[in-house]
Structure 1
């Protein structure tokens, strides 16, 4: 509705039921008798517009402070909360059908975030305040490890100062915080500063109370400038051109004596705690495998891999019949070299693989998308034959540069805080650094196989006679790849003993069922097993295990029907965490595995809980955290809503991140596509987080997105739908073609899990420091972090989906081009400049 008609809102509401009645003009004249004739005509035209039938679907998920559900009217589904349903039905009664008036009334309910924000801004403008614009699907973009490590304490302290430029121009300012070697100050926008500029500071507010030479100024360099509508804030670092020993002594004593009164500035520490907590939520749930690549004599060699409970499957997939890890097959020198030759933001590929078992030996086959395009005669054979095999896998393989100095992630606190802080800030030992000195890259391997894609591949027609030609993609067993050493992602260690990798046959007895499987790792008091079938029991159930192969190596112990208690069950119910039942009558399991481990400790591989070089696991983890290739996101629970809290990436120029940047302010991303998926009764985020349990493997879904940034409104620019919601391949391909013609097609694998709990012990020094000087801020931060309920990962799988649907290499390259964005109205720009 135009602003000209807002004052006649009550009249318009009264006339809505009469718009299609014969006596409408007569009633209009009576009700609006005091309204000028010209305005009366506009009211009539507005009512005619509002009464036009509407075909638009309404989806309020994430746009209102209410719980939305599917609401059907005349065979069309909308997603509305209770308030919106009430407004919808009331307006339909007024108009007699679903019209534009109904649509607009529902989109403007009182609990709409947009309406709430408008009211807040209007009230704030009356009071002369600024309001931060908050949109429900928007979240700040962060990078792990991006916090300042301070060399000294900084104190919040406001005092009047006078700045002098190189041209001796005087400018009044006020300090925000101070330290011996730097300041942060705020001042008006009249004079524009730039980074690198030199200025002199006179501390006018301290002249009367403290003995500072009034004539002597202190020289500073500008290291950062932040501007807003009302003011600018500049960060200053004292330059070393002139000695200021007396000034330094004065400020050091001043800060030490007043830091409890004025409070130490700990913005960087609060940021560090938040980022480290996000990191702890995310990294244990990563389904991708980070592999650390050395470069020796111009040859790329995979050296280390990080494993957790969510990414172990790809590692076990690349293990042979004697359980030796052959990850080097997929990360050969030529494949790595080829990826590194690609443009910086495109150093990735898709790798397809399957295995063949002959004479109890496993043979691995793999091919990247580029390798298959180079052999068009074998491409369909490889995809069609591989897709029919149970061992078929599709992997996304990415690579990025890494700096070994990133292995050190000190605290945000200066060494002077305490001896414990100084020890934690100490860089890694030379022995540790010597082990990683040749690491140059991190390769990220992600299993993106799913049923929808596999069904398409297995339908590709092949000729049996061509299968033998696939040997060119086989990895020779007589030329083994380099050994890759595994380390676990390690935060808080909840285990009381070391676990050892041991794969051996297991028979599980539960009720009247016997399920075959194999152990994955063992300790004296427990083990983890993978079953060949579903386990239908529950946690705390008692089961009995038999070890037929281990029985062949011992006559001392009877290894049948040993009692174990179920302590954990995987999401797909085929991986169990078990605890041995140990009492006076049941000690066989504990005694046998204790003896087995003691006698074979040199042969058994321990998960690197106890590292041969202390700290190497943490060093590798730090390097990965600083180079997260994909896009991590964190979900908080706010009332009944599940909203984005933060997004982390180190690759802002990717195709996926261009999508997320649409309609988002600088420094933020927009997660709209995950909250507006067609045909989902509950939004994906809410549904998944209510369904999945903590410490379970992340749930994976594939989503198709039509992205047309030339459109001005986000509902028209971004249309999304889950891949498993289409009625067959033809419908999926039509969606892809329409998206490509209008703008760009993007496919994303979404991994989502419930957040666990952070390792407070690792954060204790910084949390304690905040608690000393600002206990209230520590409590607020703690509450915010405990509201994080979900953690996820977004992985661009567009190219693989296009290959799957038989698009050519050129069409795939064309789709990688960034489409044109909508033109901004020049009148709007002029109005902004005048503001």
Structure 2
């Protein structure tokens, strides 16, 4: 028998467990049941009616706030709802019993399951298999940090000097949602000063005590539970941000976190990381105010082929594509963004190699496009590129560590260019001229200058992760922990880090805070105080060797200034530990800058039931023509419709067949096609889409006739399609997000793994309509 099947009858009998006629009541309630079943029921009632001494502690098990409640000399840590459930159970059992204990735990588990269900994003089963979720990659998120739902009293001061008492609704390192006692209209965009009154009393931290933190009002609205203001942090106060960050981390098990934020962030980070690894475009950062405009370029394992194509006579020729005079001309066409075509090739004359390049605008202006193309495309190294150029100012989106300083070179960026190789046959214009013309006219496009200095090429995924110069040096120190003073020596140093070896090995916890007294170095310095310098333990090596990172701004400024002076005054004594590659800015900043180069449409391919399927997509907000095309018949902006890639059975030819051929032939996959999309409006003003590939036309002439006809009707869109394989997104990139998600919604972390680990290819779509039709 299953005792749970008789739960209601058991609950009826519990109050009579100690009565004299208990056995006769069992016989009446369970009349007709076997004696063995009655015995098992009696044993179950005896078990759950026994007094219990176990304490219920929900502090690390739920996300709601808990408090102390005492019953029968036992103190429990319960939520308000759990306390009511325990009180009800005690009333039934007459005291705190095993049954009351199990009833509360069962109730808590039920609530957690309900919360997990509510936290799961609703999946709309759409009949249209062409609909995919749009996951934004280039950081246009409205919410930039995780929120914790936390209520605390605060005091807010508006620009007119009026002070209001309020409470927080949720907090994050970048903003606040606060609740006012009454609804009153306020001017959006104004600065508001917030004093964290309750937190200041509970935490005597200098980051919030007697501090008024500046926020900007971005939204206000009346909700069911009150009138709320939405605020964005405006102050540049790293200590305050660190305090909030630590507070959220320390209390994330006590208060409810916005798990969906981490869910969305995890998917975005993993896909963005894979996209940057597979990106075919080469991002180029420019300073239009300099006589040498190119500042640096960003390289991955794929787009490095573009850099190789632009090398001639062992020199990088890209700086001459963006020379001061050429860039000025290009910018005159940027309104505000220039999208054009660049052609290039090399030829050898008298044992010397020459590279020629020309933009669409240059060739049109000189009336030499036909000659350049006819002469150049006969060469083996003929290249065609899609070039974009737009103004760009680097803005840090995330909060960086003390030592991840913004590179000076980033401050000089005025424009961003991207260069994408195009290998398809796109030239459709008929030119009736039979003669090729005089090739000597093309000499004006030869790169003749010599590169001035060195143009940095930074790796998006470097093997060398060092941020600054390191020097070997042995010097005595004393390391102080909270309970010990340990002798040791410096092995090597940088402005913000130390490698040390302790005389007596001791276990130092990772991320723990220590202070260092530089005994020998203090003897040679009267300008700097080299004691109690705060460091944080980063990692350890065998034999008591530890790697430390500077932990406070005061300590950083002291050691930065001291070590700088020390090295400059003793150049022969301090030799830099050589790098394996060129030093470059911190990788997260490079990724942040590269996000703005993701201007194409991306579709992510996963294998499901042995067949490839487009699972996700991402189209930047400023890619308006692509967004409009792939938003066809979508219900909201968070969806994309890839009907333009799948109608007319295109997906079999564009996706299934190339992937199958790559598997069977075991050859590298780099599949490119041109797609011609005709948008048709019927008599009911409804639009439909028809897509064609080059091979769908009977001849070159029929393709030209089709293009010319629909160009006049303004109904044609021409896309460049590229399919390349990628490695499945790495879970290491999102390990911190997965850890948080797993604490509250295990099914969501499992869902992320199922979604991204099956991704094995990426589709890049570039809109080439204007470049082909206008050429």
Q: If the TM-score is normalised by the length of the shorter chain, which range does it land in?
A: 0.5 to 0.7
Matches of 1:382 and 1:744 in 2, distance apart? Answer: 30
Match of 1:676, SS? helix
Map of 2:295 onto structure 1? 303
Q: Which secondary structure does the structure 2 equivalent of 1:747 belong to?
A: strand
For 1:347, the equivalent position in structure 2 comes to 338
Answering whether residue 692 of structure 2 is matched by residue 701 of structure 1, we say no
Quick check: 1:294 aligned with 2:260? Answer: no
Q: Decide whether the 8 Å contact of 2:135 with 2:638 is kept in 1.
A: yes
Aligned position for 2:444: 472
Instruction: Render the CA deviation track for 1:248-285: whole Å, top value 9, x for unaligned.
Output: 9xx99997886424433344433332222111111111
- Helix, strand or coil for the counterpart of 1:299? coil
Asked if the contact 2:292–2:324 (Cα under 8 Å) also holds between the matched residues in 1, the reply is yes
Is the 8 Å Cα contact of residues 659 and 707 (structure 1) preserved in structure 2? no
**Contact preservation (8 Å) 1:635, 1:642:** yes
- Name the residue aligned to 1:448: 422
The verdict on how the C-alpha distance between 1:699 and 1:680 changes in structure 2, with shifts beyond 3 A counting, is same
- Equivalents in 2 of 1:232, 1:750: separation in Å? 51
Ranges in structure 2 where 5+ consecutive residues have no aligned partner: 1-120, 160-165, 195-211, 236-240, 466-577
Q: Is the partner of 1:142 in helix, strand or coil?
A: coil
Query: What residue is the counterpart of 1:675 in the other structure?
Result: 645
Report deviation, 1:713. 7.3
SS of the residue aligned with 1:453?
Answer: coil
Residue of structure 2 equivalent to 1:398: 388
The match for 1:620 is: 590
Give the alignment's TM-score, normalised by structure 1: 0.52
Report the count of equivalent residues.
524
Instruction: Give me the whole-angstrom Cα distance separating, in 2, the residues matched to 1:337 and 1:356.
Output: 27
Between the aligned partners of 2:381 and 2:633, the Cα distance in structure 1 is 42
Question: Structure 1 residues 668, 179: CA separation in 2 closer, same or farther (over 3 Å shift)?
Answer: closer
- Paired with 2:345 and 2:234, the residues of 1 have a C-alpha distance of 63
> Which range moves more in the overlay, 222-231 or 485-494?
222-231
Q: 1:373-522 to 2 correspondence within 5 Å?
A: 373-376=364-367, 378-406=368-396, 410=398, 425-426=401-402, 428-429=404-405, 433-450=407-424, 452-453=425-426, 461-463=433-435, 466-476=438-448, 479-480=450-451, 483-490=454-461
Considering only CA atoms, is the larger Rg found in Structure 1 or Structure 2? 2
Query: Contact 1:635/1:644 (CA < 8 Å) preserved in 2?
Result: yes
Confirm whether residue 780 of structure 1 aligns to residue 773 of structure 2. Answer: no
Encode CA deviations 1:726-752: one digit per residue, 9 max, x unaligned: 222212122213322333322111122
| Consecutive unaligned residues in structure 1, runs of 5 or more | 1-129, 167-172, 202-217, 242-247, 412-423, 495-607, 805-835
State the Cα deviation string for residues 382-412 of structure 1 (Å, max 9, x = none). Answer: 2222222222221111112332344xx647x
Check the 8 A contact 1:327/1:481 in 2, yes or no: no
Contact 1:196 1:221 in 2 (8 A): no
Q: Does 1:361 align with 2:362?
A: no
Do residues 328 (structure 1) and 326 (structure 2) align?
A: no
Shift of 1:232: 11
Asked whether the 8 Å contact 2:418–2:597 carries over to 1, the reply is: no
* Alpha-carbon spacing, 1:240–1:283, altered in 2? closer, same or farther (3 Å): closer
Residue 29 of structure 2 corresponds to: none
Q: How far, CA to CA, are the matches of 1:228 and 1:730 in structure 2?
A: 63
Equivalent runs, 1:58-457 vs 2, <5 Å = 135=126, 136-140=130-134, 142-147=136-141, 154-156=147-149, 177=170, 184=177, 223=217, 236-237=230-231, 259-296=252-289, 298-320=290-312, 322-344=313-335, 346-376=337-367, 378-406=368-396, 410=398, 425-426=401-402, 428-429=404-405, 433-450=407-424, 452-453=425-426
Write out per-residue CA displacement over residues 118-148 of structure 1, whole angstroms, 9 at most, x where no aligned residue.
xxxxxxxxxxxx9876654243251423457
Maintained 8 Å contact 1:223/1:234: no
Distance 1:347 1:710, change over 3 A: farther
In structure 2, the CA distance between the partners of 1:239 and 1:467, relative to structure 1 (3 Å rule), is closer
Q: Mean alpha-carbon deviation: is it higher for 223-232 or for 775-784? A: 223-232
Report the 3-state secondary structure (helix = DSSP H, G, I; strand = E; otherwise coil) of the residue aligned with 1:341.
helix
Relative to structure 1, is the Cα distance of residues 462 and 446 closer, same or farther in structure 2, using a 3 angstrom cutoff? farther
Classify 1:624/1:332 alpha carbon distance in 2 versus 1 (closer, same or farther; 3 Å).
same
CA contact (8 A) 1:380 1:462 kept: no
TM-score, structure 2 normalization: 0.55
Q: SS at 2:275's partner residue?
A: helix
Are the counterparts in 1 of residues 337 and 389 from structure 2 also a CA contact under 8 Å?
Answer: no
Q: Deviations along 1:624-648, whole A, 9 cap, x unmatched?
A: 1144232333334555571341314
- Structure 1 distance, partners of 2:614, 2:138, is 20
Which of these residues, 772, 795, 814, is aligned with residue 766 of structure 2? Answer: 795
What does residue 745 of structure 1 align with?
716
Task: Determine the C-alpha separation between the residues in 2 that align with 1:335 and 1:651.
Answer: 25
CA contact (8 A) 2:681 2:688 kept: yes
Q: Residues 458 and 660 from structure 1, CA distance in 2 versus in 1: closer, same or farther, beyond 3 angstroms?
A: same
* Distance of 2:683 and 2:167 partners within structure 1: 45
Other structure's SS at 2:306 match: helix
Instruction: Compare 622-631 and 704-713 and name the one that shifted more.
Output: 704-713
Cα gap change, 1:633/1:353 in structure 2, threshold over 3 Å: closer, same or farther?
same
Equivalent pair of 1:707/1:718 in contact (CA under 8 Å): yes
Distance 1:276 1:713, change over 3 A: farther
* Distance in structure 1 (CA, Å) of the matches to 2:333 and 2:352: 36
- The alpha-carbon deviation at position 159 of structure 1 amounts to 11
Alignment partner, residue 689 of structure 2:
718
Q: Indicate the SS of the match to 1:621.
A: helix
Is the CA contact (8 Å cut-off) linking 1:380 and 1:460 kept in structure 2? no
Q: What is aligned with 2:540?
A: none
For residue 633 of structure 2, the aligned residue among 660, 663, 673 is 663
Query: For the Cα contact (< 8 Å) 1:403–1:623, is it kept in 2?
Result: no
Deviation at 1:318, TM superposition (A): 1.2
1:687 to partner: Cα distance:
3.7
Aligned position for 1:813: none
* Cα distance, 1:227 vs structure 2: 9.6
Give deviations 1:588-647, integer Å, cap 9, x for gaps: xxxxxxxxxxxxxxxxxxxx9944325455533320114423233333455557134131
Residue 60 of structure 2: aligned partner: none
Give yes or no for contact 1:307–1:487 (8 Å, CA) kept in 2: yes
Kept after mapping to 1: 8 A contact 2:634/2:640:
yes
> Aligned Cα RMSD in Å?
5.4
Q: What do residues 72-127 of structure 1 show as CA deviations (whole Å, max 9, x unaligned)?
A: xxxxxxxxxxxxxxxxxxxxxxxxxxxxxxxxxxxxxxxxxxxxxxxxxxxxxxxx
User: Does structure 1 retain, via aligned residues, the 8 Å contact 2:284–2:296?
Assistant: yes
Distance of 2:173 and 2:586 partners within structure 1: 35
Aligned partners of 2:668, 2:226: CA distance in 1, in Å? 47
Q: 1:656 to 1:680 in 2, by over 3 A?
A: closer
Kindly indicate whether the alpha-carbon contact (under 8 Å) linking 1:138 and 1:671 is maintained by their aligned counterparts in 2.
Answer: yes
Alpha-carbon distance in 1 for matches of 2:696, 2:338? 31
CA deviation string 1:308-355 (max 9, x = no partner): 2322322222111x4322122322223322332334453122112221
